[in-house]
Amino acid sequence: MKHRYIFVVGGVMSGVGKGVTTASIGKILQSRGLSVTAIKIDPYVNVDAGTMNPVEHGEVFVTDDGDETDQDMGNYERFLETDLTGINYMTTGRVYQTVIEKERNLEYKGKCVEVVPHIPLEVIRRIKNATQIAKADVTMVEVGGTVGEYQNILFLEAARMMHLEDPENVLFVLVSYLPVPKHLGEMKTKPTQYATRTLNSAGIHPDFIVCRGEQFMDKPRREKLSVFCNVKPEAVITAPDVPSIYDIPALFESQGLSTTILKKFRIKPRATDLRTWKAMAAVQSAAKRTVKIGVVGKYFATGDYTLSDSYISVIEALKAAAWGHKVKIQLDWINSEDFETNPKSIVRLKSYDGILVPGGFGTRGIEGIIAAIRYCREKKVPYFGLCYGMQLACVEFARHVLGKTTAHTVEVDEATIDPIIHVSPIQLKNIRENRYGGTMRLGAFDCKLKPGTRTAKAYRASIISERHRHRYEFNNDYAAAIEKKGLMITGVNPGSGLVEIVELKNHPFFIGVQFHPEFRSRPLSPHPLFKAFIAAALK
């Protein structure tokens, strides 16, 4: 089997959508019948994304096998409709860690182990390994960072070496940015020309340039970039800002991108089919009815942009579920700290069709979240709690229904007399010994559902598997008490007996899950619980 590789690198600046470009190119190749996988390379020394602050780095995306990866991996899974694993993710730290381990194990057989070539060779080994495991016709490899910086040089070196070995089966895409300065009102190509030259000086020539910008690029500029950057005009792709990231595959196809790629790879043309994808992407602008969902959490001071990056899978799962019901969605961020400073403001929750509390960590804004959950429970507003949102729903129930007024999670109050959310001895040891990296309860675990419940009806299954990322757990000492008062335990891990799902009786929708269902949602196959939540919200 012949494997092909497409490296996607960034020029000019970061944050222009390399991840979505990578995912979209993968999508259009997949729509032509090729099997596609994707790899994300992060230039950080961190071994994984789990120890990085989501405000700075965005969401930590968890794979089935429990790797804590970059949010772009979520885009790949959603666009390619496939499950990826830790093999599809690497960082500088991870690559060095393997090389050092191999050296300690005498695997280099007495050789002097050097940064070049041993580091790029390990990168190549990982790329080929992921390709083989996925049996991919095409592997998309996104190199994080921007060309010209020191951090990603060894990854570019790996890409260059792969091209040297097999030039016909390795392509490069430069994702660049074309600014339109206000005082000129004209799209400028010079930064992209410089980025191309910088890439050239790393021994790499782009086969395609994807030109991000506020506007469409016109013909004169396309021709100019073609000549100045030594790239065919049909390989200069315009990628203006569009209303939805899901519009991008069709935007690329309108410029014949997959046909040009197939030609370059000498693959016989095959029919393309993006119809269902396009129909999904059209719902938000075409639908008449809107569902209004409030997401309650602590507000990150850096604003909406950061929020949407930190919770990207939750947002995409909510969108997918709404679109699955053929309605558009309005999402509002609600700062839980407002309810602490101004308790009366809680009534604003009334204007929402449903309230979601996503995962989180720490102490800030927690009392506000608990107040919001109480409001939803008492006023029968549909409520969906994910991970911390489930744990805090249990805290709220213990306090206001069981009358255990000081009940808490030990994450916030270590000495609480009613630790309804507690910590296992193993996790306690991790915390005491400062062993934080990759030590949470991570990855996919089975969950047995209680027949006849709302949850089981939504899933239409008796055993499910969902991805986890948490340190704390529901304390089973309180199981009988909460069930007696109507908060049913409707999902349990068969092996450990850990509580995974709680569901309130006599409420239009009140479900808390210890896992992160958002990681399994796909735009074309929305998650059953998100769909059920939106269905309840629409009622």
> Interaction with ligand GLN in 338-357: which residues (CB under 6 A)?
none
Query: Which residue is nearest to ligand GLN, using beta carbons?
Result: 359
Q: In what order do the strands lie in the sheet with 89-91?
A: 89-91, 36-42, 138-146, 4-10, 170-177, 208-213, 236-240
> Interaction with ligand GLN in 189-208: which residues (CB under 6 A)?
none
Give residues with Cβ within 8 angstroms of 72, minimum separation 6. 18, 19, 22, 23, 40, 61, 142
- 3-class SS at 391? helix
Strand pairing category for 510-513 and 499-504: antiparallel
Report, in Å, the least distance between residue 463 CB and ligand GLN. Answer: 23
User: Tokens at residue 426, please?
Assistant: 């193993």
Among 471, 507, 527, 531, binds ligand GLN (CB under 6 A): 471
Q: What is the DSSP letter of 490?
A: E
> Interaction with ligand GLN in 366-425: which residues (CB under 6 A)?
387-388, 391, 411
Among 58, 249, 360, 523, binds ligand GLN (CB under 6 A): 360
Report, in Å, the least distance between residue 298 CB and ligand GLN. Answer: 12
Contact range with ligand GLN by CB under 6 A, out of 18-26, 35-43, 278-286, 463-471: 463-471
Question: Would you call 387 a catalytic residue per the annotation?
Answer: yes
Residue 287 or 412: the one with the smaller Cβ distance to ligand GLN is 412
Sign of the dihedral through C-alpha 13, 18, 20, 24? positive
Report, in Å, the least distance between residue 358 CB and ligand GLN. Answer: 7
Of 77, 157, 411, 518, which one is the catalytic site residue?
Answer: 518
> Interaction with ligand GLN in 279-308: which residues (CB under 6 A)?
none
Q: How many residues bind ligand GLN (CB under 6 A)?
A: 11
Among 3, 126, 470, 531, binds ligand GLN (CB under 6 A): 470
Residue 103 or 367: the one with the smaller Cβ distance to ligand GLN is 367
Among 359, 419, 523, 528, binds ligand GLN (CB under 6 A): 359
Of 387, 447, 503, 527, which one is the catalytic site residue?
Answer: 387
State how far the alpha carbon of 517 is from the alpha carbons of 150, 228, 248, 468, in Å: 37, 47, 25, 9
- Indicate the residue type of 68: E
State how far the alpha carbon of 463 is from the alpha carbons of 317, 466, 499, in Å: 21, 10, 14
Q: Between vectors from CA 301 to CA 295 and to CA 305, what angle results, nearest 5°? A: 65
Q: Which of 166, 190, 198, 238 is nearest to 4 (CA)?
A: 166
Residue 9 or 501: the one with the smaller Cβ distance to ligand GLN is 501
> At 252, which helix (H) or strand (E)?
helix 248-253
Report, in Å, the least distance between residue 475 CB and ligand GLN. Answer: 12
Question: Would you call 518 a catalytic residue per the annotation?
Answer: yes
Q: What is the DSSP letter of 386?
A: E
CA 41 distance to own-chain centroid: 14
Report, in Å, the least distance between residue 260 CB and ligand GLN. Answer: 42
Q: Where are the beta strands (DSSP E) in 48-92?
A: 60-62, 68-70, 89-91
Asked if 519 is part of the footprint of ligand GLN (rule: CB under 6 A), the reply reads no
Contact range with ligand GLN by CB under 6 A, out of 28-36, 270-278, 447-455, 469-477: 469-477
Report, in Å, the least distance between residue 130 CB and ligand GLN. Answer: 26
Report, in Å, the least distance between residue 170 CB and ligand GLN. Answer: 38
Cβ–Cβ under 8 Å, residues 373 and 393: yes
Ramachandran region of residue 195, left (φ > 0), alpha (ψ -120 to 50) or beta?
A: alpha
Q: Annotated active-site positions, please?
A: 387, 516, 518
Give the binding site for ligand GLN (CB under 6 A).
Answer: 359-361, 387-388, 391, 411, 469-472
